[in-house]
Amino acid sequence: MTTTWTTARVLRDRNAGLCLTGVVISGFGTSALWLASGVWVKDLTGSDGLAALCMLAMWAPTLAGPLLGTVADRVRRRPLLIGASLLMAMLLLTLCTVGSPGGLWLLYAVLFVYGAAGVVHDAAESALIATAVDHCLLGDFNGLRMTANEGMKLLAPLAGAGLYAAYGGAGVAVLDAVTFLLAALVYAALRVREERPAPPTGSRRGRTAEGARHLWTRPGLRPLVRAGGATMLCAGVGGALVYAVVEHLGHSPAYAGVLYAVQGAGSVIVGLLSGPALRRFGARRFAAYGIAVLAVAVALRAVPDDPLAWVCSAAIGAGLPAVLIATLTAVQRETPAPLLGRVTATANTLVFTPNVLGLAAGAVLVELVDHQLLLAVLGGVLAATAAALLRRPAGPRTVTDGSVTGPPPGPGPV
């Protein structure tokens, strides 16, 4: 009942509803292109390696998150989101000319720009949401955002695959371009007053480092970002083991799709519950409890039992997003508006880059070490991460209405 009421509160807030609509629209197009781009390259070249480069092209700009995040702090966020959406719509339409291996350079270039624009977009969107949405609704909003993203991951790849089968990669590119145009219209409809950012001071390197400095000097943020990075590192290694788990269960590799679908359902559910959970437990305990659930589920995946595998997948889907939702909400609440773009982008880099490293490490380790032993070790590391997060001294305390007690956040030392 509480979950239904808080969800209704978010949806009744005009700006929150529009922001959530923009997330759904852009997430649908991104998820569809994510699948189709690799299939497109595979069909044109027959190369698995070249197909994998599509994901690398989209992920690589994340490493430059602290630098790209400064863009979101130099201009007003709403016009930036509108402009970035229109730019990507135009760039995606150029992919209609790709019809042979000789045109793949354009696909990779667009995907790279897509990834860079995504870093800026996420930073600007997070900052805009913190301005446009009531702070007491941020936890609920971020939970619903996670639910919407996971829902798109379940639906959009199917739609993208169907569109690709009917019209090829160009059809998916056009679909994604249309979603960017719709997202631009949604952002244009937001009613929010944004002050013109102050002229930049200091060197570019100093301004870029401010995001990391703020995260490091805030006791309410530093442990969450560390725990998020450690969790995503383990998640990356665990993701590389999924086919070994499926083989141990006695199924074909396609069965991994079933486990991912169940995992997505778990994420949808925890997204709906995260707002009340954040108010009840606070960001640190909510994240720690989620990591603890993840630890148990990852370790139990070593047991070759189908019903247990389904339960573990749902638990992984429920446990993994907790630290991500808690970290994003804490960043939005404890960061002053002029720094929020840089801090968000830096936090995303520190949290999500380990996932890529984990995938690479897992791909090597699964060939050298028994996957059951690896799963047990991952479970132990995650349990230790959860315990360390619970031992951290309390920072600003979140009370029942979602506000933060204690002194108002200000910029970290420069």
Q: Taking a C-beta distance cutoff of 8 angstroms, is the pair 271, 144 a contact?
A: yes
Class at the top of the CATH hierarchy for domain 205-402:
mainly alpha
What phi and psi values does residue 404 have, to the nearest 5 degrees? -110, 125
Query: Of the ranges 192-196, 268-272, 281-285, which is most confident?
Result: 281-285
- pTM for this entry: 0.74
pLDDT tens figures, 135-183: 777 888 888 887 877 777 677 767 777 888 888 888 989 999 999 999 9
Q: Taking a C-beta distance cutoff of 8 angstroms, is the pair 242, 256 a contact?
A: yes
- Predicted local distance difference test score (pLDDT) of residue 392: 52
- The CATH superfamily of 1-191 is MFS general substrate transporter like domains (1.20.1250.20)
List the one residue out of 265, 27, 32, 26 whose CA is nearest residue 158. Answer: 32
Domain range annotation of the chain: 1-191, 205-402
**DSSP track, 278-337:** HHHHHHHHHHHHHHHHHHHHHHHTTS--HHHHHHHHHHHHHHHHHHHHHHHHHHHHHS-G
pLDDT tens figures, 323-370: 999 998 898 888 887 788 888 888 888 998 898 888 788 878 888 889
Same fold, 1-191 and 205-402: yes
